[in-house]
Structure 1
Amino acid sequence: MHENPEESDRALESIQKFTVADNPSAFLAVNSGNSYFSSPNSPGVIVYRPTGRYLVQFGGPFAPAETRGALLKDFVSFAAEQGRTIVSVQVQAADAEPYLEQGFTINQMGASYAIDLSTFSLRGTAFMQLRNKIARSLRSGLQVREVSLDDWESQMRELDTRWLGTKGEGVKQLEFLIGQYGGRYQSMRRLFVGVLDGKLAGYITYSPVYGAQPGWLHDLTRRLPDGPPGVMEAINKAAIDIFTAEGVEYLHFGFTPFTSLDVRPQLPGHSKAFHWFMGHLWEHGAGVYPAQTQLAYKQKWAPGVVLPEYIAFQHGASIPSLVHIFRACNAV
């Protein structure tokens, strides 16, 4: 089943209505390029991308708690008909049971982070360095404001190209587990830009978060490679001020793989070898994904909410399954 407006609209309705899984990245379900599986036996959708002999699923089944197992079971049959194997990424702990019932192996892959805006403040010595960095960027003439994509898209595309050029020869734009802008659902996102001497110095897009910790997801970010330090921090601080004034409850920073791994994983049947491998990638896997750099930025804001996220393997934990997740993301 391939992407079309009706299916992506159904996915949007599902992530808004069936909030039981509380996946802070759920809005990525409506990214262009996704495919959707639905079943007459259960409401809701499963979001995935076919990659080689795998179906790489994003999140758990976006469905009512009582029918998630039935929807997943039908998806397993759907994959078997194609001779494909399922690997699911960014599965939430609340989604574990249906996967275990279907014989999946579930391991923690990383974590998501968030701050409670009702209590958040940059006061105190712990944030002094961050405050100083923001102040320096503003003294350089940086102006931050919320804008419409229509007025800035061409400059954003140019900035994307320059930013990607710093990542090395042959590096491609990531997708699937990262946000995007434009398209059918742009009006639901928010965009904040940093402007220096009338030109775009950086931007952050924010996507809506539903569920028990509603708010916004700090999503896609880009900045000028040779821009002043503190641009992203200044943009995010301006967004936080606006969100707080609006009464927004949470700002989520999204998923980072290989991070905040439990010392003793709690889910039954997990792979000890794969758990060790995730820790190895945290220490030595910057070439695969810059997890330490990503986490360092998030920890600047002292997130008080840490949500473990999981990977579910249909036929046992394996490196090829993990590789196909990164293939779906355009990372390899």
Structure 2
Amino acid sequence: MPSVLDTLAEHSDNPSSFLALNSGNEYFRDDRFDGACAYRRSGRYVFQFGGPFTAPEHRARLLDSFVKETGPRLVAVQLQRADAELYAAHGFTVNQIGASYAVDLSRFTLRGSRFVRLRNKISRARRAGLEVAEVQHDDDCSELDRLDDTWLRDKGRHVKELRFLVGQRTGPLQRHRRLFVGRIDGTAVGYITYSPVYGSRPGWLHDLSRRLPDAPPGVMEALNATAMERFVADGADWLHFGFTPFTGLDDQHELPDASRTFTRFARLLADRGQAIYPAASQLEYKEKWAPHAVLPEYIAFLGRPRIGAVWRLLRATNAV
């Protein structure tokens, strides 16, 4: 049977699907066809990531098998619109929970008045001595471990590193990712990792970033601009900035049977939930790049939505 990675490359149209391979995830399979469902447990709940990864003609049957295996406390997150409609047809309550953002690299440019501030930040970092290099997966990255430790300490003793719905820098699949590191006077001050994206908008996913607290302004922008230039030269089609919860919420994206209660809850978190999840700062960074596509993403509850399930999801991501 093909590996989960091969299955994603063949069948996934979710720009964040590579995150299904994160350490700590489990996989459900049905021997009748090539496919997999990625998930992890938190408390009494099972959280599925990204829908059933399989050929279109098998998606409904794989979902049926997975539901029978997991029971009534199944919650699916980061579903695309086609997934959302499939889950709604199978009795799930489906609501928009956020959006993902992507730049068409064939139209990418930093020229023009709208990017003046972005160009200035990049120039400022380069004047400070920033040098950007792509690092290979088998290089010594111990300096980045120390950067991670400093970054996390600066966030405060109660803050934990996010997981599940974000990328990771280590593990056996790192050879499939790309890693760009920024250094000043030989010291790493920031990095960004990118994961492969398959499907109708293939390219790369900006999936994890870190910077030293005292790094000069513009470091992350300069890192990403360098990576985008490299991706364009390599012939990549899209750069995805990934999913941000509680952003891009719009009534026109909701399915007909969406829960009004959950809609109000999501809007409340969008307005006042910065302490729970830093959506506003993430969105500000992504919008700097003038994304060409904003894709709604969904959460699906088997039965009615439960606030307790949302709490357990936040626990699974280490957000609380």
When normalised by structure 1's length, the TM-score is: 0.93
* Aligned residue type for 2:207: D
1:97 deviation in Å?
A: 3.3
| Inter-partner Cα distance in structure 1 for 2:253 and 2:203 | 29
Could you say which residue in structure 2 is the equivalent of 1:109? 97
Could you say which residue in structure 1 is the equivalent of 2:73? 85
Could you say which residue in structure 1 is the equivalent of 2:122? 134
| Inter-partner Cα distance in structure 2 for 1:274 and 1:97 | 17
Alignment equivalent of 1:74, drawn from 55, 65, 75: 65
Unaligned regions of 5+ residues in structure 1, if any? 1-5
Check the 8 A contact 2:98/2:297 in 1, yes or no. Answer: yes
* Aligned residue type for 1:11: V
Could you say which residue in structure 2 is the equivalent of 1:46? 37
Q: Deviations over 1:115-159 (max 9, x none)?
A: 001011000110000000000100000101111244342111111
Segment of structure 1 superposing worse, 91-100 or 228-237 = 91-100
**Between the two proteins, what is the percent identity of the paired residues?**
54
| Inter-partner Cα distance in structure 1 for 2:5 and 2:271 | 37
1:317 deviation in Å?
A: 1.5
Task: Report matched runs for 1:17-28 at 5 Å.
Answer: 17-19=10-12, 22-28=13-19
* Aligned residue type for 1:233: E
Alignment equivalent of 1:158, drawn from 140, 146, 151: 146
Check the 8 A contact 1:41/1:70 in 2, yes or no. Answer: no
| Inter-partner Cα distance in structure 2 for 1:150 and 1:246 | 21
| Inter-partner Cα distance in structure 2 for 1:270 and 1:296 | 28
| Inter-partner Cα distance in structure 1 for 2:50 and 2:308 | 19
| Inter-partner Cα distance in structure 1 for 2:281 and 2:202 | 26
| Inter-partner Cα distance in structure 1 for 2:92 and 2:33 | 20
Could you say which residue in structure 1 is the equivalent of 2:185? 197
Check the 8 A contact 2:20/2:38 in 1, yes or no. Answer: yes
**Are positions 1:217 and 2:187 aligned together?**
no
1:264 deviation in Å?
A: 3.7
**Are positions 1:16 and 2:4 aligned together?**
no
1:34 deviation in Å?
A: 0.5
Alignment equivalent of 1:329, drawn from 311, 317, 320: 317
* Aligned residue type for 1:317: P
| Inter-partner Cα distance in structure 2 for 1:96 and 1:142 | 43
Alignment equivalent of 1:280, drawn from 265, 268, 272: 268
| Inter-partner Cα distance in structure 2 for 1:278 and 1:152 | 42
Q: Deviations over 1:91-119 (max 9, x none)?
A: 11111233123210000000000000101
1:196 deviation in Å?
A: 0.6
Alignment equivalent of 1:231, drawn from 212, 219, 234: 219
* Aligned residue type for 1:46: C
| Inter-partner Cα distance in structure 2 for 1:268 and 1:231 | 44
Could you say which residue in structure 1 is the equivalent of 2:48? 57
Check the 8 A contact 1:10/1:45 in 2, yes or no. Answer: no
Segment of structure 1 superposing worse, 230-239 or 272-281 = 272-281
